[in-house]
Amino acid sequence: MTVPIAKLSFWGVRGSTPTVDPATWRYGGNTPCLELIAPDGTQFILDCGTGLRMLGSRWAAPNGGKTAETHILVTHYHWDHIQGIPFFSPLYVENNEFHFYSFRSKFLGRDSLKQVFEAQMAMPYFPVDMSAMSAKRKFKEVDGGDSLKVGENKITAQWLNHPQGCLGFRIETPAGTVAYATDNEPGDAKLDENLRELAAGADIFINDAQFTPEQLETTRKGWGHSSWLEGAKVARQAGAKTLVLFHHDPDSTDRMVDAILRQAREEFDSVFAASEGMVVTLGAPGDRVQAHMPGTRTALRREAQFHAKVCGVTEGGKDFEEETMVRDISLQGALISLKHMPRLQSELQVTMEAPGADGVQTMKLRGYVVRIDAGAEKGHSAVGVVFTD
């Protein structure tokens, strides 16, 4: 007997607008796009933010079938949820077939999402028009309260509280249930109830956590977003198992998201902050929900041997302290004191020695000069490098 497993991948987690600031690099700068592969092989895509381009460039046809069918659920038409569409390369491949689901906007009328496609690619906004998109596209309107079946999976849509409307989606698969509720502001009794219905008993509850609770009460009231505190509250009320904080503010640095996550974990047991490249599996034996962080997003890795003391918190919430060895280290850059003055934006070869229990090891790295402070030390320059390989 095979165990049904669903795989949920986060391709874009940032709200409002993409960020390229290095301070937001760890959680990622692409706007909302998730992919869910259900146990029956059905491929769902949730929202078409800029993360969709990355998904397209790693495209593997679902099911390996002749016609690659994909079901794309779009929550609403704000830029950050549709901006990836023209840059999604599988739309330009004839054999692919896409089923789009979204609501009829009162501002657009019939075939709202189709109109969004046309408007995005109209002149002078994009170099080619819709005729270049050779994949088959089918559009289906869904309304709040609607349910539909795709393969073995049941999808339910519910209205959320957001300017010009937004749908939340609940996808029930044989491996578990995912509730995707981004772009929602608490405070409307009926729509708050919708949110709890979406999240009821969900294995994964993905919720808007753009603002801090303080911002939500003051300067950002009425902007259509939520906070980690609201997410934790709803997760508890609805009996959701794991909460994923999503739609990070473009002004939130990685350190700020870390702090948000830390606070949320004090309020609710199982919380993750959505991170670009994160993959969550549902239905794996033993542990129903497992999260994996992307190896590809970590920086350069080198074997090393450093003595280290490690202090932290266990999975069970206990503090611990342990003496150990660092076996492998990832490096992004360094500040090096040099008598020579290297050229800005030139390459340096850096060989470092790492002493350890088994003797001295050398680490060879190529660095790219990003900063020079000439007067930092007499006769020396402080040279900032980013390691490139």
Q: What's CA 80's distance to the chain center, in Å?
A: 13
Q: Is 249 in the site for Zn ion (CB under 5 A)?
A: no
> Is there binding between residue 276 and Zn ion (CB under 5 A)?
no
Tracing tokens 């028009």 back to the chain, one arrives at 129
Cβ at position 274, least distance to Zn ion in Å: 13
Report which residue's Cβ sits closest to Zn ion. 78
Q: Which span sits near Zn ion by CB under 5 A: 78-86, 101-109, 132-140, 376-384?
A: 78-86
Counting beta carbons within 10 angstroms of the beta carbon of residue 116, is it exposed (0 to 12), middle (13 to 18) or buried (19 or more)? buried
CB nearer to Zn ion: pick between 185 and 203: 185
Q: How far apart are CA 343 and CA 216, in angstroms?
A: 47
Binding piece for Zn ion, criterion CB under 5 A, among 17-25, 72-80, 192-200, 364-372: 72-80
d(CA 114, CA 253): 35
With 0-12 / 13-18 / 19 or more C-beta atoms within 10 angstroms meaning exposed / middle / buried, residue 124 is exposed
Q: Candidates 7, 71, 78, 170: give the one binding Zn ion (CB under 5 A).
A: 78
Which one, 80 or 172, has the nearer CB to Zn ion? Answer: 80
Which of the ranges 14-22, 62-70, 128-136, 295-303 carries the binding residues for Zn ion, by CB under 5 A?
14-22
Tell me which stretch binds Zn ion (CB under 5 A): 12-20, 57-65, 108-116, 269-277: 12-20
Nearest residue (CB) to Zn ion, 15 versus 86: 15
Token pair for residue 296? 């590809």
In angstroms, what is the minimal distance from the CB of 12 to Zn ion?
10
CA angle in degrees (0–180, nearest 5) for 183-118-223: 20
Q: How far apart are CA 264 and CA 375, in angstroms?
A: 44
Residue 219: CB minimum distance to Zn ion, A: 18
Sign of the alpha-carbon dihedral angle for 24, 28, 33, 39: negative
| Binding status of residue 47 toward Zn ion by CB under 5 A | no
Interaction of residue 172 with Zn ion, rule CB under 5 A: no
Q: Residues in the site for Zn ion, rule: CB under 5 A? A: 15, 78, 80, 183
